[in-house]
Structure 1
Amino acid sequence: MSGHHEKPPQTKASKYITLGIIILTILMFILAFHPFGTIIDSDFPEDEVIVAVSLPFEGEMTEFGVEYMRGIELAVEDINDEGGIRGVPVRAVYFDNKGNVTLAKAQFKEIRDLGIPVVIGGVSSTVTLAMAPYAESYEIVLISPSATSASLSAYGNYVYRTVSSDIYLGAGMAKIIGGRNETQNVMLISLDTSYGKSLRYAFLKEANASYPDMHIVSDISVPDSDTVNITEIITAMKDTHPQSVLLIVNPSQGVEIMKAAEKEGLSPAWFASDTLTNRQVPLEVGAYADGLIGFSQARRISDPSYEEHYIETFGEELMVRDSIYGYETMIVVSQAIENSGYTADGIREGLDLIRHVGLTGTIVFDEKGDAYPSYDVMRLENGEWVDLPWKEVLTFEKKAAAISSAHSTSSH
Structure 2
Amino acid sequence: MSARNILVINCGSSSIKFALVNEAQSTFPLQGLAERLGSPEAVLHWQLGDTKQSLDIPGADHRAALEKLLPLAQDAAGGKLDGIGHRVVHGGEHFTGSSLINEQVLQAIRDSAQLAPLHNPANLVGIDAAIALFPGLPQVSVFDTAFHQSMPEHAFRYAVPEFLYKEHSVRRYGFHGTSHSYVSKRAAEMTGLPVDDSSWLTAHLGNGCSTCAIVNGESRDTSMGLTPLEGLVMGTRSGDVDPNLHSYLNRTLGWSLEQIDRMLNHDSGLKGLSGLSNDLRTLQEARAAGHAGANLAFEVFCYRLAKSLASMACALPKLDGLIFTGGIGENSTAVRTRTLEHLKLFNFKLDEEANARCTRGVGGEIQAPGSPRVLVVPTNEERQIALDTLALLDA
Q: TM-score, normalised by structure 1?
A: 0.27
Q: Which has the higher contact order (CA 8 A, sep 6+)?
A: 1
Greater C-alpha Rg: 1
Q: TM-score, normalised by structure 2?
A: 0.27
